[in-house]
Structure formats: C-alpha cells, structure tokens
Amino acid sequence: MKKIVFILGVIFLTISSFTTTHKFYVSVTQIDYNEEQKSLQIISRIFVDDFEATLQDRYDSSIKLSSENPNDKIDGYIEKYLQQKISISVNGKPVVFEYIGKEYDNDLILCYLEVEGVQDLETIEVSNTVLMDAFNEQQNIVHVKKGTQRKSLMLENEISQGMLKFSE
C-alpha cells in the first residue's frame, strides 16, 4: 500500500510539476468486472502520438493512427501488439482477452478489450508493458473495479506487473 501511495505521488508530480506539464508517458487502463456478464471489460487509454511512433518502429513506418484513416490493417497491428504487451491472470490462472476495437478521443486512443467467462474475481494479476519498449519512462496505471471496490496498480519498467485482491 505504502508503495502505491509513493508511486502515485511521483507520477502526479511528474504529470503536472509546475503548471501543467513536461511531456509525460502514461497510459491508463480501466478494468471493470461486470458481474452480470461474467466478463472483464477493459478500456486502455494510450497517447496516440506515442502509440503511433511505437507501432511505426515495430511494424510499418506508414502506420497512421487517426480517425480520418480507416485502415483495417491497423487493427491487426494494435491487436498483435496488445496481445504481446498485456497479460492478465484471474484467481491465479492466465486468461485470454479479445480485442474488440479502438476509438479516438482527441490525443488519446481508446482500446477496448474483453475477457469472457470470468465466474468470480478474487485476485487479478496484470502485466502491462505497453510502450515500455519505446519509452524508458513509460508508466501504465491500471484501475480495477469490482462492484463498488476500486483498486489501482502503477506499473513501470522495473515493476511491470502487480496483483490486486478483492475480498467480499
């Protein structure tokens, strides 16, 4: 707990040190456990310029992430990348997520992922190394919500995975 406080503290310091910011490298992933649908509904918010640069470096320098560029191939690249960089275990067992799609919101890209058939959520382990291959300073915040309980992880290069426990 203490560590999370510290890490969050540092993050927010970086985000808005004096007035607004230095360029910062942060993604925010929201994981909601939908009890009715027995699924983990995941929305990952990533800065579109950083994501574009990373996909260009890895796959194809012609990749353009923009709502004005409806290109089917892009979804393939995004899915391939996210499948490599995000992994989730529920109650100690690895689970598979499906890439539902993406949308753009100003300077962010929102990626929608879903894990189905989650009968119960007691513990969740998340590893998220998105963009850490491109940016040393990349930090990935993960918020998990089950009912009214909300817990958070701060993932960085050296601690890129973490576990959260949900008690009834």
Partner 1 sequence: MKKILCILTVAFLVTDFGLYAQNQNDGQQRRQLGHTNENKFKQLYDEFSTPNMYRTGSGAPGSAYYQQQADYKMDIELDDKNKKITGSETITYTNNSPDVLEFLWVQLDQNRRSKDSKTPLISSDDVKLASSPEEFVGSFLREPFDGGFNITSVKDASGKPLKYTINTTMMRVEMPKNLASGGKFTFSIDWWYNINNHVDGRGRSGYEEFDDGNRAYVIAQFYPRMAVYNDVEGWQNHQFWGRGEFALPFGDFEVNITVPADHILDGTGVLVNRKEVFTSEMMSRYEKAKKSYDKPVIIVSQKEAEAKEKVFSETKKTWKLKAENVRDFGFATSRRFIWDMMAVKIGGKDIMAVSMYPKEGNPLWEDWSTKAVASTLKSYSRMTFDYPYHKAISVHAKNQGMEYPMICWNYGRPNPDGSYSDRVKFGMMSVIIHEVGHNFFPMIVNSDERQWTWMDEGLNTFVQYVAEQDFGEWYPKAIAPAKEYPSRRGPAAKIVPYMSGDQSFIAPIMTNSENIYQFGPNAYAKPATALNILRETVMGRDLFDYSFRTYSKRWMFKHPTPEDFFRTMEDASAVDLDWFWRGWFYTTDYTDIGIGDVKKFVVSKEANKQVKDYAEGRGAKLEDFGPLVFMVEEGTDEYNTMKSNGNILDNATTLKEYLMDNFSVEERKIMKSPKFFYEVTFVKPGGLVMPLIVEYVYKDGTFETVTYPAEIWRKNDLSVKRAIPSEKEIVRIIVDPNQETADIDTTNNSWPLAEQKGQFDKFKEKMKQ
Write out the residues near partner 1 by the rule CB under 8 A: 1-3, 5-6, 8-10, 12-13, 15-23, 32, 34, 41-43, 47-49, 52, 68, 100-101, 103, 106-107, 112, 114, 136, 143, 150-152, 157-159
Q: Residue 19 or residue 119: which is nearer to partner 1 going by CB? A: 19
Among residues 48 and 86, whose Cβ is nearest to partner 1? 48
* Residue showing tokens 């993932």: 155
Query: Rounded to the nearest whole angstrom, what is the least distance from the CB of residue 3 to partner 1 in the complex?
Result: 7
Q: State in angstroms the smallest separation of the CB of 79 from partner 1.
A: 13
Closest contact distance (angstroms) between CB of 108 and partner 1 is: 9
Q: Which is nearer to partner 1, 45 or 92 (CB)?
A: 45
Of 20 and 61, the one with the shorter C-beta distance to partner 1 is 20
Q: How far is the CB of 168 from partner 1 (least distance, A)?
A: 19
Concatenated DSSP letters of the chain: -HHHHHHHHHHHHHHTSSSS-S---EEEEEEEEETTTTEEEEEEEEEHHHHHHHHHHHT-TT----TT---HHHHHHHHHHHHHHEEEEETTEEE--EEEEEEEETTEEEEEEEE------SEEEEEE-TTTTT-TT-EEEEEEEETTEEEEEEE-SS--EEEEE---
